[in-house]
Structure 1
Amino acid sequence: MFINQQTIRNSISFSGIGLHTGKSVEIKILPEKVNSGINFIFKKEKIKASWKNAQISQLCTKIKKKNTYISTIEHLMSALSAIGVTNVSIQTTSEEIPILDGSAKDFVEKILDTGLVNQKIQQKIIQIKKKVNYKTIDKYIEISPNKKKLTIDYSIDYKDDFIKKQSLYYEHDLDNFKKIYLARTFCLHKDLEKIFAMGLAKGGTLDNAIVVSGNKILNQGGLRYKDEFVKHKILDCIGDLYLAEYQIYGNVITKGGGHELNLMLLKEVFKDENNYEII
């Protein structure tokens, strides 16, 4: 699937609101030369989209350099991974990327509409050589070798009256990503008080997140997929794994995972050079 490095043909702009800050934000995605990677720019500080700069965060993916941080990058990173974009810079007017409708749809469609530039130099791929895992008391994630692609086998169990148990096996390419990219971020209504107390979700509305209350959702339009919740978890996972700086080939299995587990898996992989090779 991923052969040469790619950038976008023209700059692209998005505007919206930050899910957690509630601030209005505009971003501009700009083409970059080969081997630039993906970099975010805020207040003149350039932060590479890398696990090395990532901060542990449960409700979003955050990167930081010195005293500057940029959060909620996962949906944009997921779109860039699926399309195979390797070299761009993202200028932002605020510390959080706009949530848009809570999915990766708008990012994907606008990037594809503007077009791509094949940069005629091969992408590097991270190939997993041995099984690596990370677990907590109730959550688990692992990655094992696959020489041709990234697969994700994701299971969730919310033990509630609506989401309950959902599982999905996914093979990463653009065609398959288009089958999940409409999936929106979500939360349980009973958790909102705790989330608000943390100073988060100030920009959250029923237009950019699914809210589950008891045995129903509060959103008027209903679900976009019957298994929208696990599909969104996979979408997040793809974006988080792209913080490896290159595409990863391996088989991921995770139960009850999330942003923290995804990042911890990357840290475990890169802890030992025997776990992987860059090809």
Structure 2
Amino acid sequence: MFKKQITIKKAIIFKGIGLHSGEPVSLKLSPEKKNTGIIFYKKNKKIKASWKNAEVSQLCTKIKNKNITISTIEHLMSTLSSLGITNLKIEISGSEIPILDGSAKIFLDEILKVGTLEQDANQKFIKIKKKVLYEDKEKFICINPIKEKKLIIDFTIDYNDQFIKKQKLIYTHSPDNFRDIYLARTFCLQKDLEKIFSLGLGKGGSLDNAIIVSENKILNQGGLRYPNEFVKHKILDCIGDLYLAENQIWGKVETYGGGHELNLLLLREVFKNKENYEFFDY
């Protein structure tokens, strides 16, 4: 993976709408000096991209500092993890990262256009030393130690419906392998939309930025980007959530029915006990 800390070569601006808020939002990514970390700025207040600042949420990943919150950071964080970006300033005009096309595609493409820059400092990695498990009824997520210096994600989804059904994929995190999942879009069952709307969410959702599944078909005219796009998107989300560890993780994650909530609760369980992990330079 990456030995040195990394930032971007020059600033990038993204504009779009929030998936849940429906509000227009602009986002500016700027280079940052070594040993800074990934820092979000909103109204001159900063929030570090860290599990310590994250709130449990089912439909997105949210970080908070006092009364300032920033939501739906997972696709951007997943992209930064795939590129090994460790230091970045992120200025946002609203409360939610723009959903763009519902995947990591536009984030990755635009960052690759400006390029990344290695910095004169080593990256640190988190090596898992002991199995950590979090269970919630029939759902679970765990992480196990492995000998390799890599993150492996074994993800199973089971929607018990007519279209998505059960999907399983084992993914090894790397820049090349990320290209096999980064186009996967967020998705929703049509029958769940009423509940989502009743919570005041999903206001910016459309067929341009989400897959909508209606019984035995999808409503998107272009079809799926991958036959197993649903589980690939869940893995994309998981990568972004796990990067709230503030460093890349070496270990094997296994999850059944996982999502944003379980991803964060796993991180909390890991960092609850220092015997579960240790830090390493590459």
| Aligned residue pairs, count | 279
**Equivalent in the alignment of 1:175:** 176
Separation of aligned partners in 2, 1:116 and 1:190: 42
Q: Tell me the alpha carbon deviations over residues 203-252 of structure 1, each in whole angstroms, 9 at most, x when there is no partner.
A: 00000000000000000100000000000000000000000000001000
The equivalent of 2:265 in structure 1 is 264
List aligned pairs for 1:65-104, cutoff 5 A. Answer: 65-104=65-104
Letter of the aligned partner of 1:203 in structure 2?
A: G
Question: Unaligned 5+ residue runs, structure 1?
Answer: none
Kindly provide the amino acid, as one letter, of the partner of residue 235 in structure 1.
L
**Which residue of structure 1 aligns with residue 194 of structure 2?**
193
**1:13-51 deviation digits (Å, cap 9, x = unpaired):** 100000000000000001000010001111111000000
Map 1:1-279; keep pairs closer than 5 Å: 1-146=1-146, 147-279=148-280
Q: CA deviation at 1:103?
A: 0.1
Q: Distance in 1 between matches of 2:58 and 2:269?
A: 18
CA separation in 1, counterparts of 2:88 and 2:101?
23
Give the 3-state SS of the residue equivalent to 1:25 in structure 2. Answer: strand
Q: Kindly provide the amino acid, as one letter, of the partner of residue 267 in structure 1.
A: R
Counterpart code for 2:109:
E
- For residue 137 of structure 1, report the CA deviation from its aligned partner: 0.4
Q: State the distance in 2 between where 1:185 and 1:117 align.
A: 30
User: In 2, distance between residues paired with 1:103 and 1:138?
Assistant: 28
Structure 2 CA distance, aligned partners of 1:274 and 1:34?
28
For residue 70 of structure 1, report the CA deviation from its aligned partner.
0.1
CA distance in 1, matches of 2:113, 2:145: 34
- What amino acid is aligned across from residue 26 of structure 1 in structure 2? S
Residue type of the alignment partner of 1:78: S
Give the letter aligned to residue 207 of structure 1: D
Q: Distance in 2 between matches of 1:94 and 1:120?
A: 33
Residue 175 of structure 1 aligns to a residue whose secondary structure is: helix
User: Per-residue deviation at 1:120?
Assistant: 2.4
Separation (CA, whole Å) in 1 of partners of 2:2 and 2:270:
21
In 1, the alpha carbon distance for the partners of 2:53 and 2:2 equals 24
Separation of aligned partners in 2, 1:262 and 1:2: 23
* Equivalent AA in structure 1 for residue 151 of structure 2: L
Scaled by the length of structure 1, the TM-score of the pair is 0.99
Whole-Å separation in 2 of the counterparts to 1:122 and 1:145: 22
Secondary structure at the counterpart of residue 219 of structure 1: coil
CA distance in 2, matches of 1:230, 1:214: 18
Cα deviations across residues 34-87 of structure 1 (Å, max 9, x unaligned)? 010001111111000000000010000000000000000000000000010000
Runs of 5+ unmatched residues, structure 2: none
Q: Distance in 1 between matches of 2:204 and 2:264?
A: 25
State the SS of the aligned residue for 1:110. Answer: helix
Alpha-carbon separation, structure 1, partners of 2:223 and 2:73: 26
Partner of 2:200, secondary structure, is coil
Q: Percent identity?
A: 66
Letter in 2 for 1:236: D
Q: What is the Cα deviation at residue 2 of structure 1?
A: 1.7
Mapped partners of 1:210, 1:221: distance in 2:
10
Partner SS state of residue 141, structure 2: strand
Q: CA deviation at 1:109?
A: 0.9
Q: Distance in 1 between matches of 2:256 and 2:2?
A: 27
* In structure 1, C-alpha distance between the alignment counterparts of 2:237 and 2:211, rounded to whole Å: 15
* Runs of 4+ with deviation above 2 angstroms: none
Structure 1: how far apart are the matches of 2:112 and 2:83? 8
